[in-house]
Amino acid sequence: QVQLVESGGGLVQAGGSLRLSCAASGSIVSINTMGWYRQAPGKQRELVAAFTRGGSPNYADSVKGRFTISRDNAKNTVYLQMNSLKPEDTAVYYCNAASVGPFTGYVYWGQGTQVTVSS
């Protein structure tokens, strides 16, 4: 089993920055991809940033140039640096990890961390 724990959310004014962290534990060796999703009230959960299975990051168009995903393999941690935050970035941010094998796949989610951007 894989456990994901997010941290770093909070309240910030528009134009400010936050860095989210996601620490993974458990069967980490099984993880193929990791990323960040977010869900605003009344909206669907959407991809924010993720590492592909090839290791390169991809981003939602709405955050390109402002957010950066990174990882520290030694700490089994993935980060999301969020700069130039906008009110529309307000959401619960979830860490995601996936394990894909030849016959089965597993998806893991953290509990989420609230990010609120005030205007």
Looking at residue 74, its amino acid is: A
pLDDT band at 21 (very low <50, low <70, confident <90, very high): very high
Residue 44 has a pLDDT of 96
What pLDDT is recorded for position 115?
Answer: 98
Residue 32: predicted pLDDT: 82
> C-alpha distances in angstroms, 40 versus 19, 113, 114?
18, 12, 10
Read off φ and ψ for residue 8, nearest 5 degrees. 105, -5
pLDDT over 90 (residue 8): yes
Sheet holding 2-7, edge to edge: 2-7, 18-26, 77-82, 67-72
Residue 73 has pLDDT above 90, yes or no: no
Residue range 73-88: mean pLDDT, rounded: 95
Is residue 25 predicted with pLDDT exceeding 80? yes
Beta bridge partners of 4: 24
pLDDT digit string (tens) for 35-70?
999 999 999 999 999 998 788 999 999 999 999 999
Count Cβ neighbours within 10 Å for each residue of 4-17 and write b for 16 or more, e otherwise. bebebbeebeeeee
Beta bridge partners of 108: 97
Residue 74 has pLDDT above 90, yes or no: no
Residues with Cβ within 8 Å of residue 112, at least 6 apart in sequence: 6, 39, 92, 93, 94
